[in-house]
Amino acid sequence: MKVRFDIKNIYKNWIAGNERSILHTEELEYRPFFSVVVPVYNVADNMLRECIESVKMQTYQNFEIVLVDDASTQESVRGVLREYETEDKITVIYRKENGHISRATNDGIAAAKGEFVALCDCDDLYAPNALYEIAKKL
């Protein structure tokens, strides 16, 4: 008899049991300002939006997002980035030539205003309490 595991449900159950207070925050004495640098290159629109939204929805709100398009050849990527250009906490940089992840990241770090830099790939998601947990440790 084969046993099938539903990995998604196993993970959801683990989260429910271990991170019940994931959205709980307390006022912190020290509130560092983070710059979340996201190098962007030819990513699916939905993945890019989900990435950006996962950072925007943090329980800890003392941050900026620096999105650096590394001369994506998919026009839709720039379209998604334009949707976020006017938001207060977001800076969008458009590189004229592809420099790969290292140059895009370095350009983002150069534009960062935060005390600390947090990195995020354009197809990754932050847990809602990611920045809060870092700030709490600091």
Read off the pLDDT of residues 108-129 as tens digits, 9 standing for 90 and up.
999 999 999 999 999 999 999 9
Question: CA separation (Å) from 45 to 19, 26, 32, 52, 109?
Answer: 29, 34, 31, 11, 24
Q: Which residues of the chain have pLDDT under 50?
A: none
pTM as predicted = 0.86
- Separation between Cα atoms, residue 68 and residue 64, nearest integer Å: 13
Supply the pLDDT for residue 28.
93
- Output the CA torsion sign for 90, 128, 122, 47: negative
Supply the pLDDT for residue 2.
65
Q: First-to-last CA distance in the chain?
A: 50
